[in-house]
Structure 1
Amino acid sequence: MNTDTQKNSFRLTQLSQGGGCGCKIAPAVLEQILQKSGDEKIFPELLVGYEHADDAAVYEMSDGNCIISTVDFFTPVVDDPYDYGRIASANALSDVYAMGGKPLIALAVLGFPVEKLSLGAAKEMIRGAKSVCEMADIPLAGGHSINISEPVFGLSLTGIVSKDNICRNHTAKSGDLIFLTKALGTGIISTAIRKGKASDQDVELAVLQMTQLNNIGSVLAEKKLVSSMTDVTGFGLLGHLIEMCDGSGLSAELYYKKVPLLPGLDKFISSFVFPDNTYRNWNAFENKVQGVNGPEFITLCDPQSSGGLLFAVSPHKIEDLKKVIPDIGEPIGQFTSRKGVLVSVQ
C-alpha cells in the first residue's frame, strides 16, 4: 500500500478522542482555569467578556455599533471532510448570530495531521468552509494552520451589532417562554458515525441540520423579540439552559416532551451509543436539576455541534415571533422565579 492510499484509508472520526463540541473542556475544569487566570485590567469598551460564558466578546465602537469577536473550532463529527468544514464553519458563525449580530469576515483555523491524512482532505475542509461563508455572505479571508496529531477545524470571526441589539445569555425574565430552533441528538449521531453504526439516512439528517445557519438570531435581535439568547453546543441543552438560569437569577421549567429530537435516537441510546461527555455534562449539572429519572438525561446532556438557538421570549411577543419563524413550534419551557433547583424537568 503506497503512502497516499494509506492516508486515504483513515476516517476522520477515528483520528480524535472526542468529536465536535463534545471535545470541550469540562465545565467544572474550565471554571477552575478561568478563576485562576489572574486579575484583569478593566476596559470600559468591552461590553461582553467571559464573565457569564456568553457566546462571543463584544467591544463598543464610537458610532453606536459594536464589534463581535469569537473563535470556535473542534475535532471531526463526520467522516466527509467537505461536510466537516461546513459544519465547523456553521457552528462558529452561530456565536455571532447568538449575540444578535451579523458576521463580517472569517479566518480559518486548521490543525491537520499531514502524516496521516491526504492533503486533499484539508482542501475539502476549506472548500466546505468557503461554501458556508458564501451562504453567510462573508469572505473567508485567510487563517492559520499547524501540523497536529488530530484534525481540528473552525473559524475566527469578526461581526457587528448595534449596541441596542446585543443579546446576552443572562438577561431572561420570569415568565419568558423558552424556544429551541434545532432538534437535539447530533452528538449521539456523531458517536454512531465514529462507531460505524449510523445509516446513510442518519448521517444525512444530522449533516443537514448541522450545516443550517442560525442567522435568524440577528433578525430576532433587530426586532427586539428575545429577552435572552444563546446557542446549544458542547454542554448540551441542560448545560446552556442552566447558564441562562444562573446568570439571570431564575429557574426554569423544561417540558421534555416538547423538546425536539432527531429521529432514530432510541436505537442508539438503547445500545449505549452516545458520547462519553454526556456523563461528564450530567455529573456537572445533576445537582441543579430535578425531574430527570431515566434516559432523558442522555438527550438533554448530549453535546451538540452547530446546535440551535435557545432563547427567551415574553408571552406577549409570541405572535410577532411566529411571523418571523412560522414553524417555530411550541415553547419547550418557561423561566420562573428562583426556586430550589435551577431546572425542573416535567
Structure 2
Amino acid sequence: MQPDQELRLSDFASCAGCASKLPPTSISQLLGFIPPTHDPNLLVGTETHDDAGVYRIAPDLALVQTVDFFPPVVDDPFVYGQIAAANALSDVYAMGGVPATALNLVAYPDDKIGPEWLGRILAGGAERCRAATCTIVGGHTIRDAVIKFGMAVTGTIHPDRVVTNAGARPGDVLVLTKPLGVGFVTTAAKKRGCPPDLLAAAYASMVRLNKDACTAMLAVGVSAATDVTGFGLAGHGFEMADGSKVTLRLRLAALPLLPGIEQIDVVTYRTRASKTNREYTESQTRFEGTPDAYRREFLYDPQTSGGLLISVPAARAAALVGRLKESGELAAAVIGEVTEQDGAALVVTG
C-alpha cells in the first residue's frame, strides 16, 4: 500500500486509549517495583533520575546506555527520524559521553501504509547518527497502529568523568542551550495553526545534536547537566535539584524562547504533558514576586530533543557561554543559579 496523499504522518501518531508518554509521577511509582541493584560497577542507575545508566566495564572505560522512542511530533518523516535520533543521542551527551552504537526501534502499520514513510524515517535517523559518528548496528520492528520510532544508544565514557544531574552545587550558575516552546509549536502544527517560519525554527532546534554543547561543557568543567525533554524545564530542573539536594532559582525573563513563538496562543496549544509536568513539580515550586503568566507556561511545556541544562561554577560560566556561542548553539542563556536548599526545589522569579 502507498501512503494516501491526504494522510499525514500525525494521523498515525495516536489512537483511542493511547498515550505517547507516561507522566513523571507514574514513572517514579513504577521504579519502586524494580529491586535495587548492588553491583559496584553500576555507576549511575535510576536513583537520581539521570538521563542514562552508566556501567563500568574496565578501570578506564564505562558504557553509557539509554533508550527513547515516541510517535511522530512532525509530519515530515525524514525530519521526524532526525528528531527521534537526536533526542535519543542527547541522553549520552548529557552525561558527558560519546555515542558509539545505536539500535533502531520501530513500530509501524505496514498493513495500512507502504514502506515509503518508514524508509524516510530511518534515513533521517541515520543522518543524525552519521553526524554524531555513531554506528547503527541493527534494530527491532513490530507492527502497530501507532507509528513509533527511536533508538537504544550506547556510548562510552571514562568512569571518573561522568556528568550527572546530581552534582549541582550552591554558587553554580544555570545555563540552557536551546530555546523553549517546541511542545506548543508541534501541537499547533498538528492542528494546522502554526506559521511556517515558527515551525522551521522548531525543526532547527529539535534536529540539532547536543554534541557541541557537550564538548563545551567538558572543556570548561561543570558540576551537573541534564537534557530538557518530556518533563519540561520545571520537571528536569526539579530532578536536578532533588538529586543534588539544592534549590534552583530560575528567572522567567531570562528563559530563551523560540523566535516567533508569540505568533501562536500557547495556552491554546498546551499538551496533556504540560498539566502532568505542572502537577509533578508544583508542590516543590515557590514563585516570588509576580512572575509573568505567559512565560510561566514555558516551565511546563514538554520539549522534544531539547537543550542541555547545565550547572556550572560561577567562575566558569562566562567561558561556557562563550564556547556555546562559538559553536553556534541556538541559546547560551544564563537562566538562574543554584543555592542551598531553601524550602523548595525550584524558586521562580520574574
Same fold, TM-score > 0.5, yes or no: yes
Map of 1:188-337 to 2, 5 A cutoff?
A: 188-220=184-216, 222-223=218-219, 225-269=221-265, 272-291=268-287, 294-326=293-325, 329-337=332-340
Query: Larger deviation: 93-102 or 221-230?
Result: 221-230
Q: Distance in 2 between matches of 1:324 and 1:247?
A: 27
Find out whether 1:152 has 2:154 as its counterpart.
Answer: no
Query: Larger deviation: 272-281 or 45-54?
Result: 272-281
User: Given that residues 178 and 334 in structure 1 are in contact (C-alpha distance below 8 angstroms), is that contact kept between their aligned partners in structure 2?
Assistant: yes
User: Given that residues 168 and 223 in structure 2 are in contact (C-alpha distance below 8 angstroms), is that contact kept between their aligned partners in structure 1?
Assistant: yes
Q: Distance in 1 between matches of 2:333 and 2:303?
A: 21
Residues 91, 330 of structure 1: CA spacing in aligned structure 2 closer, same or farther, 3 A cutoff?
Answer: closer
Q: CA deviation at 1:99?
A: 0.5
User: Given that residues 105 and 157 in structure 1 are in contact (C-alpha distance below 8 angstroms), is that contact kept between their aligned partners in structure 2?
Assistant: yes
Find out whether 1:81 has 2:80 as its counterpart.
Answer: no
User: Given that residues 100 and 217 in structure 1 are in contact (C-alpha distance below 8 angstroms), is that contact kept between their aligned partners in structure 2?
Assistant: no
Q: Distance in 2 between matches of 1:311 and 1:130?
A: 28
Q: Distance in 1 between matches of 2:13 and 2:59?
A: 44
Q: CA deviation at 1:323?
A: 4.4
Deviation string for 1:57-93 (max 9, x for gaps)?
1011224111111111111110010000000000000
Find out whether 1:28 has 2:31 as its counterpart.
Answer: no
User: Given that residues 253 and 295 in structure 2 are in contact (C-alpha distance below 8 angstroms), is that contact kept between their aligned partners in structure 1?
Assistant: no
Residues 257, 323 of structure 1: CA spacing in aligned structure 2 closer, same or farther, 3 A cutoff?
Answer: closer
Find out whether 1:56 has 2:34 as its counterpart.
Answer: no
Query: Larger deviation: 261-270 or 37-46?
Result: 261-270
Q: CA deviation at 1:297?
A: 3.0
Deviation string for 1:196-247 (max 9, x for gaps)?
1112212211111101000134424543521000000000001101111111
Aligned to 1:338: 341
Q: Distance in 2 between matches of 1:146 and 1:299?
A: 35
Percentage of matched positions with identical amino acids: 35
Please report the TM-score for the alignment, with normalisation by the length of structure 1.
0.93
Q: Unaligned 5+ residue runs, structure 1? A: none
Q: Distance in 1 between matches of 2:113 and 2:203?
A: 22
Please report the TM-score for the alignment, with normalisation by the length of structure 2.
0.92
Deviation string for 1:241-300 (max 9, x for gaps)?
111111111112111111100123234335612212111111221121122562333211
Find out whether 1:11 has 2:14 as its counterpart.
Answer: no
Secondary structure of 2:64's match?
strand
User: Given that residues 60 and 158 in structure 2 are in contact (C-alpha distance below 8 angstroms), is that contact kept between their aligned partners in structure 1?
Assistant: yes
Letter in 1 for 2:86: A
Secondary structure of 2:138's match?
strand
Q: Distance in 1 between matches of 2:151 and 2:244?
A: 29
Q: CA deviation at 1:184?
A: 0.2
Q: CA deviation at 1:13?
A: 1.7
Letter in 2 for 1:90: A
Q: Distance in 2 between matches of 1:218 and 1:249?
A: 24
What is the alpha-carbon root mean square deviation over aligned residues? 1.9
What is the count of residue pairs matched by the alignment? 339
